[in-house]
A and B are shown apart, each in its own frame.
Chain A
C-alpha cells in the first residue's frame, strides 16, 4: 500500500467549477506539500502546511492531522489550472526529511 494516496487520479471539470483533490497518508508527518506540475515538466510548490488551512488566490489547502487527510480546493476553476497536482509528505523520522510523493491527480479544465 502506498504511504500517500491521492484521489481522484484524473479529473475533468468545466470552467468555473469548484474542484477538490484529496490526499490521505498513513505515516506520522511533520508537514505536507501540495505541488503543481504543468505539461513540460516544471514543478511548483503551492503550499506547505502542518495544520489548519492556507489560502492563496483561488487555491485553498486544508489538513486534518488526526484523520491523516488533506484537501486542495480550486474555486472558479480556469483552463490554466489544468495540470498535475501532487501531494507529498515529510514523515517523522524520515531520512533528512525526504518527501514521500503521491502519484498525482491530473486535472483538465475545459472552457
Chain B
C-alpha cells in the first residue's frame, strides 16, 4: 500500500513564526505536491516537485517555499506565518500518469 505521511495532524503557530510541514512517501514516486484546502475554494496547488531538488510554483506560491532534498521527502515552509495561512494543508504524490495518493492533512492555525 502506498503511504503518504505528514508530520503533524494539527498545528498552532503564532504570526511571524517560521513553520515547517513535512511530507514523506514510501513508494518512490517522482511527483510530489502541496495543496491548501479552504471552504468554498476547494484544493489549490501551492508548489509541486517532479524530481529531487526540482520545484515548480503552483497557483498560490506567495508566502511559501519548498524543499526536496530526498526523493521521498517534500517540505513546505512558511517563512513568516500569517493569519491568512490558517488552512488545511495536504501533501500528495504519484508516478507520472498514475493515481494520486494524499496524506492525512495538517490543519494549521496561525494566531
Given contacts A98-B33, A98-B58, contact A42 B104 (CB under 8 A): yes
Contact B42 A41 (CB under 8 A): no
Q: Are B88 and A96 touching (Cβ within 8 A)?
A: no
Cβ contact within 8 Å between A96 and B31: yes
Chain A interface size range:
20 to 34
- A90-111 interface code vs B (CB 8 A; 1 in, 0 out): 0000011111011110000000
Query: Shortest distance in angstroms between B7's beta carbon and chain A's nearest beta carbon?
Result: 14
**CB contact list, A52-111 vs B, under 8 A:** 86, 88, 95-99, 101-104
Chain A residues near B40 (CB-CB < 8 A): 103
Query: Contact: A96 with B90, CB < 8 Å?
Result: no
Contact with A along B62-74 (1 / 0, CB 8 A): 0000000000000
Number of interchain pairs (Cβ within 8 Å) = 56
Q: B45 at the A/B interface (Cβ < 8 Å)? A: yes
Q: Which of B56, B88, B100, B101 has the most CB of A within 10 A?
A: B100
- Contact (Cβ within 8 A) B42 A98: no
**Contact residues in A for B90 (Cβ distance below 8 Å):** 41, 43
* Interface of chain B residues 27 through 73 with chain A (CB within 8 A): 31, 33, 37, 40-43, 45, 48, 50, 56, 58
Chain B interface size, under 10 / 10 to 19 / 20 to 34 / 35 or more: 20 to 34
Q: A41-B88, A45-B101, A48-B99 are in contact. Are A96 and B48 (CB under 8 A)?
A: yes
Of residues 6 to 28 in A, which have CB atoms within 8 Å of B's CB atoms? none
> Is the Cβ of A41 less than 8 Å from the Cβ of B97?
no
Q: Is the CB of A45 within 8 A of B56?
A: no
Q: Which residues of A contact B (CB under 8 A)?
A: 30-31, 33, 35, 40-45, 48, 86, 88, 95-99, 101-104
- Where the two chains meet, the residues of B that have a C-beta atom closer than 8 Å to any C-beta of A are 31, 33, 37, 40-43, 45, 48, 50, 56, 58, 88, 90, 92, 96-105, 107
